[in-house]
Structure 1
């Protein structure tokens, strides 16, 4: 499934179909906002949703909610060369930089070349550095009639309030468990992937029910890597491994995956502190132990530290040093007798 494949969301991703249909109806009645902020969990399908919208909005002969796949506009889309659709995302960096947003602004004020309007998709809007966010704000404050901006934001990540206030927000839902399970099994079959009997369920659980993220876990062998991270995490908390050794499996999966994993753990810890259940069954014993030996606010303080690390991604921080800093923060939550042991 590529970004240029005509996508029938009703069948390919049914959990996104109602939101998609609603926006198509608003577009056809002339009520589409000039800037749309699409929010949702990582792996729910935001990027595919946005590109399907962009393609539908420039198609000359749309069929119902989808594009026709036959007109001149669709031919250019299929060749990944439509001049009136632009997609911006981090390049050779973990953040979207100001030069990219300036290019976005220049594209916005130019006239459409072939379609009746231009569509701009800005992925990971929560990964704009400060200069880029300020440059984007200028574009949002001076909307152009024939331009639609679609900004994508991961749920729970921060976005400059002045940017948010100039967009209409749409939150994409997670699918029901049975729908996610069916989608994942079909995707694995289409990939001819062979996985362990319990792996799809485990991947879905670790992905918080987001099917595309679960599929990514399985494709990349992330379950085994997460097991290595958890083993190192447990050993470090018990002072059985030095921090530089414990950080190695985390560094191997990358800083962003490390932050996602640790954030998931902090959320589970907060759930345990509130008397609830966690999503990561393998990490549950240690997280429940930490929740029981700390105040309810400990998880929130730790999550703030992870958020601070995310902000630091724009400054090319050292993944190893940042991972070690967070591991030490985790270990500070252990009772003193376990730390000494």
Structure 2
């Protein structure tokens, strides 16, 4: 029989674990144990690997069940756990890939503090960087993205959702965009801010054709126009609606900004533009009405008006003949 001699350090770590009855909850606030983790001692790391599921259970514990007198300790545990994760040790990361979907259980908890959603986003991002396909499989679950809509008022949730738009097209993304647009009728300010953020990322950075094509449909313009023409409406909601209009107008007018309507080669571009949902649904007279009301009532020029000015400037196209055809001259808005 062969005997394996234990090193003094190994004996110390094992004794620490025994002293705490292998209770990870206590071990991760034990300075000695944490120091062995920081130094990536094999015995400490092996113990962590065997208990990654418990580690994540602590991170995403039911906040309502944590006694107030333990909240400070819980905060320390969160910091230490994330410090362990950020060691980027492959054995630990592999175990996280197995157990990470616990973050989605946050959707069913009665109360989730913003910090836990923030940790969920960081963990999702870590997994995504290692293997995109893990996220792709989740999109196949019915109404997966839609199930996050009740939490869209939290910015970290919108960041999580963007990760699911970055990995390629899936029909569930369209379902989410369709349902999320309804926040403008509900006047849910924070959800609208984060929804607009997602639309902005799709139109300016992600640039996946199928996602953009859905946003470019007339439904988005109709909904956002209904918002911007309302009086006594929350200015933050109107600013976000105007931003979506601006994003759509920017897409359609990129090729139009330097055209010459006298040039036969430009006629196809103009003709194609007139066939777009944007041209069909964009009611430029409504922008004129908003400007006129702002001037007559001496309303302070805010971001909402500035966004509409951006739209108007794009549509002028530096060409009076085309902008006249589009209705600006008759409104007295041409320059």
Calculate the TM-score normalised by the size of structure 1.
0.29
Higher relative contact order (CA 8 A, sep 6+): 1
Flag the structure with higher helix content. 2
Flag the structure with higher strand content. 1
Larger radius of gyration: 2
